[in-house]
Amino acid sequence: MTETGKPAAPRVSIQTADFDVAHEIARLRAGDGRVGAVCTFVGTVRDHNHGQAAGSVSAVALEHYPGMTEKAIETMIDEAERRFDILGVRVVHRVGRLLPEDQIVLVVVTATHRHDSYQACEFLMDYLKTQAPFWKKESTPEGTHWVDARESDDTALARWGIARRNA
């Protein structure tokens, strides 16, 4: 429950449907006069992967374990709240088949000041990219294959003093 007695909006949503960025921001900010900064990150599906030509990826499919994924992201948010002076967080991550240019992830962080909102947003994205239990399969002209982006993102983890858990 919120201070107004209304049920709190969930901090994490894993869904197949697209999301409305403006709606998600408005919902997180609603009724909180302390908010002086809102930082958002919207990730979209690229038509290529590292070292590939533009247009080489025709689709991606994301899979997850319901319940486990949400719990892992909630833990990430708890850690962000310990590290930064933030007021609210909303993470929306899509799963299923997605096409180039589709929105795939949204992170919204509210804070009293911009510095904390910027840092927490970046921290959460680095954590999502490297630690969240999602599995990604790309469709290319050569067929479909699983992608492990985690190795390339170890530098992002190290910046936050986090050891890689998924070897």
pLDDT of residue 130: 84
Is residue 98 one of the residues assigned to a domain? Answer: yes
Question: How far is the C-alpha of 110 from the C-alpha of 28, rounded, in Å?
Answer: 8
Is residue 112 one of the residues assigned to a domain? Answer: yes
pLDDT of residue 48: 74
pLDDT tier at 1 (50, 70, 90 boundaries)?
very low
Is residue 76 one of the residues assigned to a domain? Answer: yes
Q: Which is more confidently placed, 3 or 119?
A: 119
Region of 153 please: left (phi>0), alpha (psi -120 to 50) or beta: alpha
Is residue 56 one of the residues assigned to a domain? Answer: no
How many domains, the chain? 1
Q: 83: domain CATH number?
A: 3.90.1170.40
Is residue 149 one of the residues assigned to a domain? Answer: no
Residue 7: Cβ-neighbour burial (10 angstroms; 0-12, 13-18, 19+): exposed
Question: How far is the C-alpha of 119 from the C-alpha of 113, rounded, in Å?
Answer: 11
Question: How far is the C-alpha of 162 from the C-alpha of 37, rounded, in Å?
Answer: 26
Is residue 55 one of the residues assigned to a domain? Answer: no
pLDDT in tens, 131-161: 888 988 888 888 888 887 555 566 777 777 7
Full domain range(s) for residue 26: 12-44+67-134
Is residue 20 one of the residues assigned to a domain? Answer: yes
pLDDT in tens, 41-60: 999 998 877 666 666 888 99
Strand partners for 134 = 64
Is residue 116 one of the residues assigned to a domain? Answer: yes
pTM of the full structure: 0.86
